[in-house]
Amino acid sequence: MPEPLTTDPIAEARRQWEEHGWHDAAGGMAAVTAIMRTQQILLSRIEGVLKHFGLTFARYELLTLLSFTRSGALPMAKASARLQVHPTSVTNAVDRLERAGLVRRMGHPTDGRTTLVEITAEGRQTVLSATTELNAAVFTDPGFTPNELDELNTMLGRYRRGAGDFIDHEATPGA
């Protein structure tokens, strides 16, 4: 990685936006770019931890989802919908996880078309260890104050709902 910058590149971009007269868009541009960059930093921290377990964030999320299920199994399409990723991404993730022995493919008992993904005992063990380390290394102190976390959860929850990410009754994620 390169040397540290001596000035905030996003603040600098915002200044340029203002100079070009794009006042209405400057704040939005800065916030959107900041979200992009923050995601990058967080993802890099997370994947640094998950690497120890041979997992990527996408595969970790799939394992976590399965581990929270009563039966430990889910149809591929359900996993795709819940994780909000493309079906081929699930196929790919399951391929890798299956090769690692963390999940297993099974036929559906009544619908011959659907494939069930089931987490294995080893998968449960792995996701538990990974979560423990992730919680300690990132989630317990992600770099925001408790107050900021509440604001983020409220604000982004509202944003995601507005973007059609989910149809919710009225529950507010924050607090």
| Residue 31: CA count within 13 A, CB half-sphere | 8
Q: Which long-range contacts (CB under 8 A, 24 or more apart) does 17-23 make?
A: none
d(CA 96, CA 101): 9
Per-residue x/- mask for a second copy, residues 100 to 119, rule CB under 8 A?
--------------------
Scanning 48-56, 98-106, 118-126, 134-142 for contacts with a second copy by CB under 8 A, the matching segment is: 134-142
Question: Of 56-85, which residues contact DNA (CB under 7 A)?
Answer: 56-59, 75-77, 80, 85
Angle, in degrees to the nearest 10, between helices 57-67 and 87-99: 80
| Residue 71: CA count within 13 A, CB half-sphere | 8
> At its nearest, how many Å lie between a second copy and the CB of residue 96?
20
> At its nearest, how many Å lie between DNA and the CB of residue 1?
7
> Partners of 116 in the beta sheet?
75, 106
- In the list 67, 69, 114, 131, the residue contacting DNA (rule: CB under 7 A) is 114
Task: Decide if residue 38 touches DNA (CB under 7 A).
Answer: no
Question: Of 27-86, which residues contact a second copy (CB under 8 A)?
Answer: 27-32, 34-43, 46, 57, 64, 68, 77, 80-84, 86
d(CA 122, CA 104): 11
- Burial of 83-99, coded b for 16+ CB within 10 Å and e otherwise, reads bebeeeebeebbebbee
Task: Decide if residue 112 touches DNA (CB under 7 A).
Answer: yes
Choosing among a second copy, DNA, none, which partner's interface includes residue 130 (Cβ < 5 to 8 Å by kind)?
none
- In the list 26, 46, 63, 93, the residue contacting DNA (rule: CB under 7 A) is 93
> At its nearest, how many Å lie between DNA and the CB of residue 19?
26
CA distances for 29 relative to 12, 14, 148, 161, angstroms: 12, 7, 21, 21
Contact residues: DNA, CB under 7 A = 40, 44, 56-59, 75-77, 80, 85-96, 105, 108, 110-116
